[in-house]
Amino acid sequence: MKLVTHLTERRKAAGLTQSQLAEIVGVSRKTINTVENGVFIPSTVLSLRLARALSCSIHDLFELPQE
């Protein structure tokens, strides 16, 4: 299943680089990159950490594509 991600937009709006966000949530920059590019679907825990770091909800970061 494909996941629509708004992580890149939210990260940039927060003024963070991939490396900075990765450090905040405790993963590698490569992990952030693969999530942003739709290659990797993050776990619930990582999604919650990302949402907390970006002061938004998981729904603001990710959504299912329209069927």
Kindly list the domain boundaries of the chain, sorted by start residue.
4-63
Higher pLDDT pick, 56 / 65: 56
Stated pTM of the model: 0.93
Spatial distance between the Cα atoms of 20 and 34, rounded to a whole number of angstroms: 15
Residue 30 backbone phi and psi in degrees, to 5: -60, -35
CA distances from residue 55 to 1, 38, 39, 59, 66 in whole angstroms, order as listed: 26, 21, 24, 12, 25
Q: What is the pLDDT of residue 1?
A: 67
CA distances from residue 31 to 23, 28, 34, 60, 66 in whole angstroms, order as listed: 11, 5, 5, 19, 25
Q: What is the pLDDT of residue 50?
A: 98
Q: For residue range 14-60, list pLDDT tens digits in order.
A: 999 999 999 999 999 999 999 999 999 999 999 999 999 999 999 99
For domain 4-63, give the fold: 434 Repressor (Amino-terminal Domain) (1.10.260)
Q: What is the pLDDT of residue 18?
A: 98
